[in-house]
C-alpha cells in the first residue's frame, strides 16, 4: 500500500493521511495509491501539512500499518533511544517494531 | 567574555522582529514553504525527522552562566526538557514548534544569543579551542580574533549566498584541540621571529563525502590584515567555487582542483587588490574586543595542592582535568557521555546545574567542546573536590574524557532527516561493552567517532576508530575506519573492509582494540600502534 505522510505546519509533528484528516498515529493511515499527489497538493495548499510525500507500507496482521523504510518507522514511533518520548512510552517492545 | 554593544543588540533584535513577521506570514499562508524555507534556515530552524529543530549558535563555544540558564529554560519551556550539544560547539533542540520559534529567538536575544547563520550557505558559527584563555600552552587567547571574524562574517552581504556552507576555526596553541585543519579555513595564531603575533591560514579542509586536510597557504598574516586576508580567501571561493554540483561545492574541492599554489596565487592577487580598499577594521576595534577577554580576577596565591585520597575524585582529576595557565587553577571537563547515555545530551536540570557551578566555581564561564562535552575553564584547585562531588551527584562526574567511552556521535537516524543509520544506539552499546569489560582505562586515549551518514557530522574520518552508518537496501550497516586523527598530526581514517550490522560493529570495535592491546609498545596510544603496524593485522583479525 501507499500512504501519505508529512509534518504538521505549526508543530512540525509527523502526521499521516487518514482519508479525511491527518493523524499522528500511523495505524490510522489509509491507502492513497493513485491519489497521493492530488491529496498532497490540496492539503499543502490548505496549510494543514508541510512537505507531504507518499511512501510504501504494508498492512500488518493486527490491522496496523508498517512503513517499508526504517526512517519512516522511526518517524512513526519516535526516537528509538528515548522510549519516553515516543508515541508508545509504556510499550517496552515498541522499539522492536522499528527494527 | 564579549558583551554586545548597541549595534550587536540592534542587529539581533531586528532579526527577531523580521523572523516573527516572516513566521506569521507563513502561518497565514502568505508565504509558501519554498519561500519560507530559506528564511527559517537563515535562523537555524530546520525541519527534522520528528519536528522542527532549532540550532542555537554558541560563538567559539563560550557561554556565561546566564546564557546557559537560558538554554535550560528554552529546553523546559519550548522543548522536551533537554538539549543536544553538537560537534560545532552549538546546541540543538529537537521538538520545536514553528509558532514558538520567534519567541525562542526573542528569549535568546535577551542574553545576547541567536541562531543566525547556523544553517545555509554562509559563514557559520566560528569555532575555537575550548580551553581558550585558560590553556597553559597557548600563545594568546584566540577568542578576540574569533569574535572579530564573527562580527565581520555576520550578515556579510557578499557571503550570504556562497556556493556551500563555510566553517572557520581559530586556535592559538601548538596543540590543536579544534580540528582546525578539517575546516574550510583554519587559523592558527602564531608568533614570528620578531615576537609579533600573526595568523597562519590553512584553507580547504573538511570532512563529509570528500574528506581533505587543509594545506597551509600562508604562514604569517599580520593581525592588522586578518580580515582582509580572510576576505580574499572567501572572494576567490565565492567567485570560482562550483555551484553546479553541491557535492563539489565546498572550498576544499576548489583548492584541490586548482591546486594549493594556484589557489594561493589568486588569493594573493585578490589580497593585494583588497589592501587598496581599506576594508580592515582599525586595530582599536580589535583592542576593544580584546578588553572583553581579559583574564578573570585569579587569586594570586591560590594553592596548587590537591588532596587525591578519594579514588573516584583522583580518577576524575587524572582523566578529565587539564593544566591551567594560572598557578592554583585547573580546567575541568564535564563529560556528557555517561556509560550507555546519549552523547551530547543534557537535561534542563543538568544545564541549570552546570550554569550554577560555573557561577560558583569558574568565574561565570563555560565552554562547549566539539567533542560534545562542557568545560569549566577556570576552577580553583581548592574548590575542585567540592565541584566534583556536585557533578557526580547529578550524573555529570563520569571520568572518561578522551577514552573509548567519550564517543562523538551525531544525532543519526533517530533525529536527522539526512541520516542513513542510527548513531546513538551504537555509541551506547560500545560504551556499555567497554565499561562492562573494564577495558576503558587499559586502552587509554582512544577517540571514537560515529556518523550516521556521509556528511560526517560525527567526524568519523577523524576518529582513531571511526564508524560510518550507511543504508544497505533499507537495512542499517556500519563501516569501520581506523587511523583518523584531528589533532596536530591530522590524518584521515581508512575503511577496514566490508561493513557490519549493529551488533557486529560493536564486536568489530572490540576486536580492533584487542589487536592494539596485543601489539602496543610502551606508551603507545591506539593511534600510534595503528600507524606503526598498519591496517593488515586489524583486517586479519576482523575478516580472517
φ, ψ at B98 (rounded to 5°): -55, -40
Is there a single domain that holds both residue B462 and residue B499? Answer: yes
pLDDT in tens, A34-86: 999 999 999 999 999 999 999 999 999 998 999 999 999 999 999 999 999 99
* CA separation for the pair B448, B407 (Å, rounded): 5
pTM of the model: 0.97
Is there a single domain that holds both residue B433 and residue B359? Answer: no
Is there a single domain that holds both residue B414 and residue B483? Answer: yes
CATH number of the domain that B421 lies in? 3.30.413.10
What is the DSSP code (8-state) at residue B166? B
Give the strand pairing for B185-191 and B168-171: parallel
Strand pairing partners for B47?
B52
Q: A10: domain range?
A: 2-98
What is the DSSP code (8-state) at residue B539? H
Q: Cβ separation of A10 and B98 shorter than 8 Å?
A: yes
Element (H, E) at A14: strand A14-17
B130 in a structural domain: no
Is there a single domain that holds both residue B224 and residue B191? Answer: yes
Q: Cβ separation of A68 and B96 shorter than 8 Å?
A: no
Is there a single domain that holds both residue B324 and residue B265? Answer: no
Is there a single domain that holds both residue B157 and residue B249? Answer: yes
Contacts of B428 in chain A (CB under 8 A): 81
B469 in a structural domain: yes
Is there a single domain that holds both residue B262 and residue B319? Answer: no
pLDDT in tens, B285-309: 999 999 999 999 999 999 999 999 9
* Total number of domains constituting chain A: 1
pLDDT in tens, chain B (544 residues): 999 999 999 999 999 999 999 999 999 999 999 999 999 999 999 999 999 999 999 999 999 999 999 999 999 999 999 999 999 999 999 999 999 999 999 999 999 999 999 999 999 999 999 999 999 999 999 999 999 999 999 999 999 999 999 999 999 998 999 999 999 999 999 999 999 999 999 999 999 999 999 999 999 999 999 999 999 999 999 999 999 999 999 999 999 999 999 999 999 999 999 999 999 999 999 999 999 999 999 999 999 999 999 999 999 999 999 999 999 999 999 999 999 999 999 999 999 999 999 999 999 999 999 999 999 999 999 999 999 999 999 999 999 999 999 999 999 999 999 999 999 999 999 999 999 999 999 999 999 999 999 999 999 999 999 999 999 988 999 999 999 999 889 999 999 999 999 999 999 999 999 999 999 999 999 999 999 999 999 999 999 9
Element (H, E) at B39: helix B33-41
* CA separation for the pair B32, B25 (Å, rounded): 9
* Total number of domains constituting chain B: 4
From A34's Cα to the closest Cα of chain B, the distance in A is: 24
Contacts of A11 in chain B (CB under 8 A): 51, 97-99
* CA separation for the pair B281, B290 (Å, rounded): 14
B131 in a structural domain: no
Coil, strand or helix: which one is B356?
helix
CATH number of the domain that B71 lies in? 3.90.480.20
B71 in a structural domain: yes
DSSP letter string, B391-445: HHHTT-----TTSTTS-EE--GGGT-TT-SS-SHHHHHHHHHHHHHHT-HHHH-S
Cα B137 to the center of its chain, rounded Å: 20
Round the average pLDDT of chain B to a whole number and report it: 97
Matching residue, cell 576555526: B169
Could you tell me if B50 lies within 8 Å of chain A, comparing CB atoms? yes
Strand pairing partners for B197?
B191
What is the DSSP code (8-state) at residue B174? S
Element (H, E) at B475: strand B475-482
What residue of B is the nearest CA neighbor of A47? B29
CATH number of the domain that B350 lies in? 3.30.70.3340
Q: B195: domain range?
A: 142-291
Give the strand pairing for A14-17 and B216-222: unpaired
Q: Which of A47, A79, A80 is the best substitution to test chain B (most B C-beta atoms within 10 A)?
A: A79
Is there a single domain that holds both residue B382 and residue B414? Answer: no
Give me the total of CB pairs closer than 8 Å, taking one residue from chain A and one from chain B: 69
pLDDT band at A99 (very low <50, low <70, confident <90, very high): confident
Minimum-distance CB partner of B52 among A12, A74, A79: A12
Coil, strand or helix: which one is B148?
helix
Amino acid at each position: 500500500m501507499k500512504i501519505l505522510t508529512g509534518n504538521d505546519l505549526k508543530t512540525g509533528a509527523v502526521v499521516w493521511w487518514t482519508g479525511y484528516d491527518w493523524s499522528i498515529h500511523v495505524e490510522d493511515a489509509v491507502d492513497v495509491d493513485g491519489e497521493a499527489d492530488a491529496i498532497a497538493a490540496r492539503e499543502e495548499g490548505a496549510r494543514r501539512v508541510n512537505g507531504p510525500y507518499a511512501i510504501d507500507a504494508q498492512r500488518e496482521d493486527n490491522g496496523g500499518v508498517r512503513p517499508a523504510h526504517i526512517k519512516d518507522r522511526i518517524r512513526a514511533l519516535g526516537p528509538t533511544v528515548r522510549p519516553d518520548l515516543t508515541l508508545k512510552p509504556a510499550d517496552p517492545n515498541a522499539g522492536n517494531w522499528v527494527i | 567574555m564579549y558583551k554586545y554593544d548597541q549595534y550587536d543588540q540592534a542587529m539581533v533584535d531586528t532579526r527577531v522582529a523580521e523572523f516573527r513577521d516572516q513566521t506569521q506570514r507563513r502561518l497565514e499562508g502568505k508565504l509558501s514553504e519554498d519561500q519560507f524555507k530559506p528564511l527559517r534556515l537563515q535562523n537555524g530552524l530546520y525541519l527534522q525527522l520528528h519536528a522542527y529543530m532549532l540550532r542555537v549558535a554558541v560563538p567559539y563555544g563560550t557561554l556565561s552562566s546566564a546564557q546557559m540558564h537560558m538554554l535550560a529554560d528554552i529546553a523546559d519551556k519550548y522543548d522536551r526538557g533537554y538539549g543536544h550539544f553538537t560537534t560545532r560547539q552549538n546546541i540543538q533542540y529537537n521538538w520545536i514548534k514553528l509558532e514558538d520559534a520567534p519567541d525562542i529567538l526573542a528569549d535568546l536575544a535577551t542574553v545576547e544569543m541567536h541562531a543566525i547563520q547556523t544553517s545555509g550557505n554562509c559563514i557559520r558559527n566560528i569555532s575555537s579551542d575550548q580551553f581558550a584563555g585558560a590553556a597553559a600552552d597557548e600563545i594568546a587567547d584566540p577568542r578576540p580574533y574569533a569574535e572579530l571574524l564573527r562580527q565581520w562574517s555576520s550578515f556579510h552581504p557578499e557571503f550570504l549566498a556562497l556556493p556551500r556552507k563555510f566553517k572557520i576555526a581559530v586556535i592559538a596553541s601548538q596543540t590543536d584541540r579544534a580540528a582546525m585543519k578539517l575546516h574550510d579555513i583554519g587559523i592558527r595564531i602564531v608568533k614570528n621571529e620578531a615576537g609579533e603575533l600573526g595568523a597562519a591560514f590553512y584553507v580547504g579542509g573538511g570532512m563529509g563525502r570528500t574528506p581533505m586536510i587543509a594545506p597551509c597557504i600562508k604562514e604569517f598574516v599580520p593581525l592588522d590584515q586578518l580580515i582582509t586576508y580572510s576576505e580574499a580567501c572567501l572572494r576567490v571561493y565565492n567567485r570560482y567555487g562550483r555551484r553546479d554540483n553541491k557535492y563539489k561545492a565546498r572550498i576544499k574541492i576548489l583548492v584541490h582542483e586548482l591546486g594549493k599554489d594556484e589557489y594561493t596565487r589568486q588569493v594573493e592577487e585578490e589580497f593585494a587588490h583588497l589592501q587598496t580598499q581599506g576594508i580592515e577594521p582599525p586595530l582599536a576595534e580589535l583592542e576593544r574586543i580584546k578588553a572583553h577577554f581579559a583574564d578573570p580576577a585569579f587569586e594570586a596565591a591560590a594553592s596548587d595542592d590537591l588532596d587525591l585520597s578519594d579514588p573516584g575524585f583522583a580518577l576524575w582529576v587524572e582523566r578529565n582535568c587539564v593544566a591551567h595557565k594560572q598557578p592554583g587553577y585547573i580546567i575541568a571537563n564535564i563529560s556528557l557521555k555517561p556509560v550507555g547515555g546519549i552523547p551530547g545530551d543534557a537535561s534542563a536540570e543538568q544545564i541549570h546545574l552546570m550554569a550554577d557551578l560555573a557561577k560558583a566555581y569558574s568565574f561565570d564561564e563555560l565552554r562547549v567542546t566539539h567533542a560534545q562535552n562542557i568545560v569549566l575553564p577556570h576552577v580553583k584547585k581548592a574548590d575542585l573536590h567540592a565541584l566534583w562531588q556536585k557533578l557526580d551527584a547529578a550524573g555529570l562526574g563520569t571520568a572518561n574524557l578522551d577514552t573509548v567511552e567519550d564517543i562523538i556521535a551525531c544525532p543519526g537516524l533517530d533525529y536527522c532527516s539526512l541520516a542513513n543509520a542510527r548513531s546513538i544506539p551504537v555509541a551506547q552499546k560500545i560504551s556499555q561493552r567497554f565499561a562492562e569489560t573494564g577495558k576503558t582505562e587499559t586502552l587509554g586515549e582512544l577517540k571514537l567517532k560515529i556518523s550516521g551518514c556521509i556528511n560526517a557530522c560525527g567526524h568519523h574520518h577523524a576518529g582513531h576508530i571511526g564508524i560510518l552508518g550507511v543504508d544497505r537496501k533499507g537495512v542499517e550497516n556500519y563501516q569501520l575506519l581506523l587511523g583518523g586523527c584531528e589533532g596536530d598530526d591530522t590524518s584521515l581514517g581508512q575503511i577496514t573492509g566490508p561493513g557490519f550490522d549493529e551488533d557486529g560493529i560493536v564486536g568489530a570495535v572490540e576486536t580492533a582494540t584487542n589487536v592494539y592491546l596485543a601489539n602496543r609498545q610502551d606508551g603507545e596510544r591506539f593511534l600510534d600502534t595503528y600507524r606503526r603496524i598498519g591496517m593488515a593485522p586489524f583486517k586479519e583479525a576482523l575478516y580472517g
